[in-house]
Amino acid sequence: MTTPTKSPAGAAEDAAAAQAPFAVGSGEATQQDQEFVKGLGLLSSTTLVMGSMIGSGIFIVSSDIARRVNSPWLLIMTWLVTGFMTMVGALSYGELAAMMPRAGGQYVYLREALGPLWGFLYGWTLFLVIQTGTIAAVGVAFGKFLGLFWPAVSASNWIFHIAHVPPIQLGPMTLGNMDVGLNTQNLAGIAVVIILTAINARGIKTGAMVQNIFTIAKTSALLGLVLLGAFVGRNAQAIAANFHDFWRNSGAGATFPDIAITGVMGAAIAVAVSQTGSLFSSDAWNNITFTAGEVKNPHRNLPLSLALGTGIVTALYISANFIYLAVLPMNGDASAASVLGRGIKFATDDRVGTAAMQQMFGSGGAAAMAIAILISTFGCCNGLILAGARVYYAMAKDGLFFRRVATLNPHTKAPVFSLVLQGVWTCILTLSGSYNQLLDYIIFAVLVFYILTILGLFVLRARRPNAERPYRAIGYPVLPAIYIAMALFIDVILLRFKPQYTWPGLIIVLLGVPVYFVWSRRRSQALGA
């Protein structure tokens, strides 16, 4: 990549721009946004929302949720709560996005509402774990399902095995217990990361084209699962087992051995604990805000794409879970040979989507679902890679990340160095085998940043009441307040019942505080010079 040289005057202008706050609501584009190509229309913006959300989670996590809640109604309730929170969050972010259609999205909102430290902590955590760890996990999921067609692609087929890190217990945390090295499964994930990074380095229009193709394909596949299950694959045994006693284990007599609390409160806590799976499967809808500087007519298309994308995916997710209940009994036997005998709870490797298609159409159905998941994970990786690089670019523009990350390729207008840096760290996480463990740790922190960002909506309404707001959050202040209350409840429950998945996330976030002050000092020294 060729980096154009700048005169001292130009460098000073850039430094001043990095220090100055955005003119919120002014409608004037900053220099960094003028450098981008406006290549995302409403369709591309919506497919980015949907494509970043739909990965492999919807086809897997319902098995774990079913084991935790032991109730068809609570399985559906878990997804309903997640869907409600996702849509309220998206509607709230829509106001912020329309006010500040800037590259970096959520990083910008936190910086403007709560101060630069909070924006940096979000960007730091995004780069260290949230975005890169998710890309690594989804990429390796691609390799896992590719192995169904080519058995040579396997986590046990090592090209070089560096070491096995034994488990280390630190208070409530268990670290380690992972293999470090390169096997054919994570090699497939790394190949996906490299290919999609190269594609997105060619510019936003190329990345958006790939996103549109794969999102339409995987949305059609998920819709096909729902329609086939509704009209072709319904199973009388599953319907009798799940819907004739739909409300079981959700009332006064409900029992949940994992949390040792019974009754309605136990049901509420069980749903909250189970949210880690459904929230992760529904996450990344905010990625469109990262690319706001490249969206056409952002005041209209950003909030509209957030509403459309999350609404469509939420409807498909809830429908898919009803189909699982109509095709497979919830309860089963882990040692059973048939998919019907194993049920939702004990689907092989938790692949409940594959089990449902296999029950409907035999081995051909399982193969079709595996192909659909390959398409889904590939498209999900593309959306995450495309969007994440824009946050690090915005941080670097503020002097809070490596200077070269703040440059665009003069020909493609893509943040190529940011894309490459993101890709390199993602590949390191993939080789380390630590990404799944890190993702378990960070879900709590992700929810904290959502709470802070929506709190920022209240702060900006109070501090800047006259700012231009092309779109105002539907249901404000009630719905955003309900979101904050629900998210706080889930985080408190996770602190109490899943400390091994909460404190590590907080530690990762807090490690960013000294790093922020180092970057701030460097920025101040650069401006002083």
Segment 404-421 mean pLDDT: 95
Over range 137-154, report the average pLDDT. 92
Domain contains 398: yes
In this structure, how many other beta carbons lie within 10 angstroms of the beta carbon of residue 7?
8
pLDDT over 50 (residue 23): no
Structural domain that includes position 148: 40-523
24 inside domain: no
In this prediction, residues 453-460 reach a mean pLDDT of 97
Q: Is the peptide bond before 477 cis (omega within 30 degrees of 0)?
A: yes
The pLDDT, as a whole number, for residue 523 is 82
| 501 domain-assigned | yes
CATH number for the domain harbouring residue 244: 1.20.1740.10
Instruction: Read off the pLDDT of each residue in 233-260 and give the average, rounded to a whole number.
Output: 92
Alpha-carbon distance of 450 to 445, in angstroms, equals: 9
* Helix (H) / strand (E) containing 52: helix 42-53
- CA 49 and chain centroid, separation: 10
| Confidence at residue 175, expressed as pLDDT on a 0 to 100 scale | 63
Give strand ranges (E) for 135-280.
158-165, 168-170, 173-175, 178-183
What is 69-126 written as a DSSP string? H--HHHHHHHHHHHHHHHHHHHHHHHHHHHH---BTTHHHHHHHHH-HHHHHHHHHHI
Q: Is 7 inside a domain boundary?
A: no
Q: What is the pLDDT of residues 148-204, one digit of tens each?
A: 899 999 989 999 988 887 877 766 666 667 788 999 999 999 999 999 999 999 999
pLDDT reported for residue 26: 37
DSSP letter for 40, please: B
pTM: 0.90
What is the Cα 197 distance to its own chain's centre?
18
Which amino acid appears at position 321 of this protein? Answer: N
What pLDDT, on a 0 to 100 scale, did the predictor assign at position 164?
82
What per-residue confidence (pLDDT) applies to 444?
86
What average pLDDT does the segment 492-503 reach? 85
For 303, the token pair is 């909030």
CA distance 156 to 131: 26
Tens of pLDDT along 267-320? 999 999 999 889 989 999 999 999 999 999 999 999 999 999 999 999 999 999
Query: Cα dihedral angle (234, 237, 243, 248), rounded to 10 degrees?
Result: -150
pLDDT at 435 exceeding the cut of 80: no
The predicted structure's pLDDT at residue 18: 39
- Which tokens in the block code for residue 274? 């189970």
Task: Grade residue 51 by pLDDT with cuts at 50, 70 and 90.
Answer: very high
Tell me what pLDDT residue 3 has: 34
Is 183 among the domain residues? yes
Which region among 77-81, 273-277, 344-348 has the lowest average model confidence (pLDDT)? 273-277
Q: Give the model's pLDDT for residue 25.
A: 40
Q: Which tokens is 439 given? A: 């993702």
Cα 334 from Cα 340, distance rounded (Å):
11
Report the number of distinct structural domains present in the chain. 1
- 116: amino acid identity, one letter: P
Residue 386 belongs to some domain of the structure: yes
What is the amino acid identity at position 263?
G
Position 16 in a domain:
no
pLDDT(111) > 90: yes
Domain for residue 435, yes or no?
yes
